[in-house]
Amino acid sequence: MIHNNDIKEAIITMLKADASLVALVTEDEVREAEWQGKEFKYPNVRVLVRQSVPEGTGPCDSKIRRVTFLAVAASAKASSKECGSVAAAVVDALKGRQLASDVFQSGTMHLRNYPGSLFAIAAETWVLELTWEVNVYG
C-alpha cells in the first residue's frame, strides 16, 4: 500500500533538491502543509496531498493510485511578485517529472491549474496554490 506520507515526502525531496527554488526559499521552508512549527518564515512552499484514490477495480488496481496534491507558495511582501516567482520555480521543479521513491514509482506530474489560484490571506501575505496530478504505482 502506498501511503500519502510517502508521496508527500517524495514531492518535498524533489523540491528541496531544486537549486532554483532553494535560491528563493530556504530548504527548511519547503515542508508539508501540516507542519506545526513555532516560526512561520516567508517565502515558503507547503505540500498537501489532497486525494489519493485507487485507479480501477481489478485485483492489481489497488497498487495504482491517482494522486491530487497542492504545492502552495507563500510570501509576505506588499506585492505578489515574490509569491509568483516562487510558484514559477515550483512549476519548473515539478512539471513533466516523475517522483523518485524506494516505495513506489510514478508517472509524469501534470499541473492542472496554471497560473494557479493567487490570493491574499492577510495584509501583505500572498498565497498561490498549484494543483497537480500524478499516478503512482507500488
pTM score, whole prediction: 0.91
What CATH number is attached to the domain comprising 50?
3.30.2000.30
pLDDT interval class at 60 (50, 70, 90): low
Residue type, 91: V
pLDDT of residue 57 exceeding 80:
no
Specify the higher pLDDT residue, 111 or 40: 111
pLDDT, mean of residues 69-90: 95
Domain that holds residue 66: 4-137
| Interval 14-48: pLDDT, tens | 999 999 999 999 889 999 998 877 777 899 999 99
Could you give the number of structural domains in the chain? 1
